Each structure stands twice: as structure tokens, then as C-alpha cells.
Structure 1
Amino acid sequence: MAEFNTTLKEQGDISIIKLKGYLDAHTAPVLENKFNELINNNKYKIVVDFQDLAYISSAGLGVFMAYIEKVRENQGDIKLASMSDKVYNIFDLLGFPLLYEIFKTEEEAIRKFSE
């Protein structure tokens, strides 16, 4: 089975989820649980760091669509950072850059919350 895990770190009022491995239908619930945990704790400023993500499927992409509305309703956002070209191309193909801000680095995404 493909490996996938997340780590969470806080920087002020911003939550950073680091993804590692393969995000697909089997592993998507791990990320869903992380988003639910943040939302339940009223944490709506979220940066997702893709630096160590090797693969994402449509089920993985669906996780982001499932939570963006709830986060934005609460004056927050989900910003995406550090994608490999391979992962970015999948997001781009499905029009995600129109819906999400995608940054080269985690630091850029974090800075955007304070503008």
C-alpha cells in the first residue's frame, strides 16, 4: 500500500499541513481528518505544503474542494505551496489555480496571510 502522512505545525494563527507520499482514495481520509481537526478548532488560515508529495489522484484533489468553502465562509483560506511540476500540472489541468493561490514556497504562502 502507498505510504502517506501529514504533519502539522503552527506559525502564529496559521496552520501548515505538510503532505508526504501518495494522496489517493485510500489515503485521502488522513487529510480529511486533518482538515476536520483544524476546522473544529476554528483554525481557518491553512497552508498546505506539497514539497514531499509524490502523487495526487482525483480523490486527493477532492479533499481540497470539500473544505475550501467552509474555510472561506469563516474568513480563512487554504493556500498551496511547494508543488513539484508533476503535481502542479494535475492541479493546473483541473483549473485549480483559478480557485486557489499556489506559491513556490511555504514562506510565500504564509506571508500572503499577513498582507
Structure 2
Amino acid sequence: MECSEFKITKELVGDKTCIFLSGEIDIYTCQTFKSELNEVVNTFKGDLYIDCKELSYIDSTGLGILVGALKEIRKDNNNIYICNLKDNIKKLFIITGLDKLFKID
């Protein structure tokens, strides 16, 4: 089965740490996602902005990784902002109640 390749890009935009996700986050790509995200969380301080414009799919494993990152970031009273969610993914955040935990733009 051919799936769209997962890619994560990190960028500093002014004083904001931004991550751009593309492709699919599932059982096959979640380890890469987890290690890259944890590296960002442990390296940069402040709020984290995750742009999901190019993200086509995320499963429960991926959502769990996001929640873990949020717990770490909240230790320093910071937040994760998630923007440009596609409708199918935004629906997943609403159904799971994660739209109450994360700042969704």
C-alpha cells in the first residue's frame, strides 16, 4: 500500500517556533514524528505552532504523540497552537475533545 510520504519541517518565524507537517501520521510514520517533535519540544522554549495545511491524515497514535508534547510544553506554561487543519482532521480533534486542549486556529 502506497501512502503519501510524511514530512516534518521546523522553522523559526520571528520568535515563534513553527512546525509544518505534511503527508500522513500513522503507525508507520509515528516514530519519526515522535522523535522530531520531542526534539523540538526539548530544544525550543515558548509556544509551539503546528501548521497542518499539508497534513492529510493523522491516527490515534499521532494524536497521542501531540498530547504527550502538550504535557511537556505546559510544564513551562506554554501552549501548542494548531492551524490550517483540514476538515476531516479538525473533526477528529472535535470528536476526541482535543479541540479543548489545543489552541486551534
2:45 counterpart residue number: 43
Structure 2 counterpart of 1:80, which letter? I
3-state DSSP class of the match of 1:80? strand
Q: Distance in 1 between matches of 2:44 and 2:7?
A: 22
- 1:54-93, aligned counterparts within 5 Å? 54-93=56-95
Q: What is the CA distance between 1:34 and its match in structure 2?
A: 2.0
Structure 1-normalised TM-score?
Answer: 0.82
Q: Distance in 2 between matches of 1:55 and 1:27?
A: 11
Unmatched segments (≥5 aa) in structure 2: none
Structure 2-normalised TM-score?
Answer: 0.89
8 Å contact kept, 1:51–1:83: yes
Structure with greater helix share of residues: 1
8 Å contact kept, 1:38–1:44: no
8 Å contact kept, 2:79–2:103: no
3-state DSSP class of the match of 1:25? coil
Find out whether 1:5 has 2:7 as its counterpart: yes
Q: What is the CA distance between 1:68 and its match in structure 2?
A: 0.8
Q: Distance in 2 between matches of 1:54 and 1:42?
A: 26
Aligned CA-pair RMSD: 1.3
Aligned identity (percent) is 28
Unmatched segments (≥5 aa) in structure 1: 104-115
